[in-house]
């Protein structure tokens, strides 16, 4: 087995036993990047090999001295390009931030470094996180390592593809309506959207602040739990982080699923779901039942309004958050305007891509005088109803399961001209963001055309340990991530 094929847990143990060094893992990561990047384009920026190797050598020396090491010491990690990194270009895949080099690290990046992780580069994404296919990147799409003609999902498609292809062991993504889980599902890896408030958003380039959470991507559940453990917890720089102790997220991984009750909402297994995906997911559910979980049917009556509510709330917040890109303080500026209003208009017209402009216009409309009540406030009321559906359900069950997406990875170009069709890719993921609950996508097999299928597990707020426990049972019962055949 080559080093780039290892999972996080295998790499962790290999490092601990001295079978290889951090330097070897970094060399393997860069060799793999050289070999597969021309095919998949998962990265927007890759750091200098020598620079990262020097950091790896420091970890190896610390280990040799017997120093206490962080839980991610020597592990190569990729960071989505909407998370700021000091001295390393950060664009959110937008022309409007082309050439922007942040003067500070996001809290999650500082915590990665504290844990000993080695940041290898910044990954491609849909511009500002707006999309489900990575086709909305201003710098060209990422391709799915399972089939190069297919999308990796989005918006954290670069992070998911980089992990699936073995370029890095772990990656950070961000999830506003499914952007970690859907690409993880499409690329056959594990992806987590933590409880809202579990992870600091300081230094995350905001899309929709009441929905955004940064989350881990890994080939194995253990890696996702370790990475979340490293970045989670209260942060004085983000007032929405919860003042809650972060439990040891690895502690319950081996407990199995005996005694847990799983809710299966009828609304998630209805119209629009591919029969192939449905049967793969239901097979995985059968495995969990054989392992001792109890499954009960459930109804969450307001789920059907999730997409409508999400796209109003998210776009309204985006229209406000993106007002700061005016060409004056940083990033791209159009130089050929006659006055300052012309400069704003030209900068924003040329700097933002088509989907971002669509979202800003939709969001501005939904907030405008006379429409605010009809759209934005109504969407917020629907959001509250969805959250109370979850609250009621979690009085009865430990977890709620569904497919991560209605279909497996679609072809590049297939949905790009049909925004509504694209938005429906998020039909099962937006609810966790609207309700603020944590959710994971774990690989549960492949469907008939040989593409991976994601199994989504949602639990009550701050119950990530139960989520990881079930995901780990699923991983062991069903077989976990496999090597993508596309490379």
Q: Which of 94, 179, 218, 425 is catalytic?
A: 179
80, 137 contact by CB (below 8 A)? no
Q: Per rule CB under 6 A, is residue 363 in the interface with ligand GLN? A: no
Q: Per rule CB under 6 A, is residue 145 in the interface with ligand GLN? A: no
Q: Per rule CB under 6 A, is residue 142 in the interface with ligand GLN? A: no
Q: Per rule CB under 6 A, is residue 158 in the interface with ligand GLN? A: no
Residue 468 CA: distances (Å) to CA of 56, 228, 304, 408: 29, 11, 27, 23
Q: Per rule CB under 6 A, is residue 132 in the interface with ligand GLN? A: yes
* Strand 399-403, strand 261-265: pairing: parallel
Active site residue 155: yes
- Which of 6, 130, 138, 401 binds ligand GLN (CB under 6 A)? It is 130
Q: Which of 9, 41, 137, 155 is catalytic?
A: 155
Binding-site residue total for ligand GLN (CB under 6 A)?
Answer: 13
Q: Which residues pair with 218 in a beta bridge?
A: 170, 190
Q: Is the Cβ of residue 156 or residue 465 nearer to ligand GLN in the bound state?
A: 156
Greatest alpha-carbon pair distance for the chain in Å reads 70
Active site residue 80: yes
Helix axes 354-367 and 306-321, enclosed angle (nearest 10): 100
How far is it, in rounded angstroms, from Cα 303 to Cα 325?
A: 34
Q: Per rule CB under 6 A, is residue 116 in the interface with ligand GLN? A: no
486, 451 contact by CB (below 8 A)? no
Which region, judged by CB under 6 A, interacts with ligand GLN, from 53-61, 170-178, 408-416, 463-471?
170-178
Q: How far is the CB of 176 from ligand GLN (least distance, A)?
A: 3
Active site residue 179: yes
Which region, judged by CB under 6 A, interacts with ligand GLN, from 11-19, 129-137, 247-255, 447-455?
129-137
Q: How far is the CB of 169 from ligand GLN (least distance, A)?
A: 23
Q: Is the Cβ of residue 208 or residue 343 nearer to ligand GLN in the bound state?
A: 208
How far is it, in rounded angstroms, from Cα 71 to Cα 115?
A: 6
Q: Per rule CB under 6 A, is residue 213 in the interface with ligand GLN? A: no
Q: Which residues inside 311-340 make contact with ligand GLN, applying CB under 6 A?
A: 314
Which region, judged by CB under 6 A, interacts with ligand GLN, from 38-46, 111-119, 176-184, 341-349?
176-184
How far is it, in rounded angstroms, from Cα 188 to Cα 481?
A: 6
Q: Which residues inside 399-458 make contact with ligand GLN, applying CB under 6 A?
A: 426
Q: What is the DSSP letter of 78?
A: E
Residue 479 tokens, joined: 């077989």
CB-nearest residue to ligand GLN: 179
298, 265 contact by CB (below 8 A)? yes
Which region, judged by CB under 6 A, interacts with ligand GLN, from 127-135, 137-145, 228-236, 367-375?
127-135
How far is it, in rounded angstroms, from Cα 363 to Cα 381?
A: 17
3-state DSSP assignment of residue 105: coil
How far is it, in rounded angstroms, from Cα 460 to Cα 456?
A: 14
Which region, judged by CB under 6 A, interacts with ligand GLN, from 52-60, 177-185, 268-276, 395-403?
177-185
3-state DSSP assignment of residue 43: strand
Residue 261 tokens, joined: 């009750």
The residues of the shown chain that bind ligand GLN, judged by CB under 6 A, are 129-132, 155, 175-179, 207, 314, 426
Q: Active-site residues: which are they?
A: 80, 155, 179
């Amino acid at each position: 087995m080559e080093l780039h094929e290892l999972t996080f847990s295998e790499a962790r143990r290999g490092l601990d036993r001295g079978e290889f060094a951090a330097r070897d893992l970094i060399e393997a990561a860069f060799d793999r990047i050289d070999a597969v990047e021309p095919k998949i384009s998962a990265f927007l920026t890759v750091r200098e090999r020598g620079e990262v190797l020097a950091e790896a050598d420091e970890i190896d020396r610390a280990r040799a001295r017997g120093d206490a090491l962080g839980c991610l010491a020597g592990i190569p990690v990729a960071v989505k390009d909407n998370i700021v990194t000091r001295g390393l270009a950060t664009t959110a895949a937008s022309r409007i931030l082309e050439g922007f080099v942040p003067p500070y690290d996001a809290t999650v990046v500082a915590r990665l470094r504290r844990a000993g992780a080695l940041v290898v580069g910044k990954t491609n994404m849909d511009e500002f996180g707006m999309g489900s296919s990575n086709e909305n990147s201003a710098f060209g799409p990422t391709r799915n390592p399972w089939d190069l003609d297919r999308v990796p999902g989005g918006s954290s498609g670069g992070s998911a593809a980089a992990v699936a292809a073995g370029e890095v062991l772990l990656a950070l993504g961000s999830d506003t309506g499914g952007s970690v889980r859907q690409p993880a599902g499409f690329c056959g890896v594990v992806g987590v959207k933590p409880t809202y408030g579990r992870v600091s958003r300081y230094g995350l380039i905001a899309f929709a602040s009441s929905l955004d959470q940064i989350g881990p991507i890994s080939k194995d559940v253990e890696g996702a739990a370790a990475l979340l453990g490293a970045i989670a917890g209260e942060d004085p720089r983000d007032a929405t982080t919860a003042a809650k102790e972060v439990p040891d997220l690895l502690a319950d991984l081996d407990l199995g699923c005996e005694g847990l009750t799983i809710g299966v909402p009828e609304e998630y297994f209805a119209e629009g779901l591919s029969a192939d995906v449905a049967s793969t997911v239901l097979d995985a559910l059968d495995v969990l039942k054989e392992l001792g979980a109890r499954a009960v049917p459930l109804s969450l009556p307001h789920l059907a309004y999730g997409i409508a509510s999400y796209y109003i709330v998210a776009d309204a917040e985006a229209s406000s958050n993106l007002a700061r890109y005016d060409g004056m303080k940083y990033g791209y500026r159009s130089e050929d305007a006659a006055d300052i209003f012309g400069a704003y208009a030209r900068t924003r017209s040329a700097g933002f891509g088509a989907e971002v402009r669509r979202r800003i216009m939709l969001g501005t409309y939904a907030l405008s005088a006379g429409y605010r009540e009809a759209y934005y406030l109504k969407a917020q009321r629907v959001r509250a109803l969805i959250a109370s559906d979850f609250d009621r359900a979690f009085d009865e069950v430990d977890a709620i399961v569904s497919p991560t997406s209605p279909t497996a990875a679609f072809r590049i170009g297939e949905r790009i001209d049909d925004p509504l069709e694209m938005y429906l890719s998020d039909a099962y993921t937006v609810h966790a963001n609207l309700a603020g609950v944590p959710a994971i996508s774990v690989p549960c097999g492949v469907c008939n055309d040989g593409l991976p299928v994601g199994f989504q597990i949602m639990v009550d707020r701050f119950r990530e340990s139960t989520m990881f426990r079930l995901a780990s049972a699923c991983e062991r019962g069903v077989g976990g991530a496999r090597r993508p055949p596309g490379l």
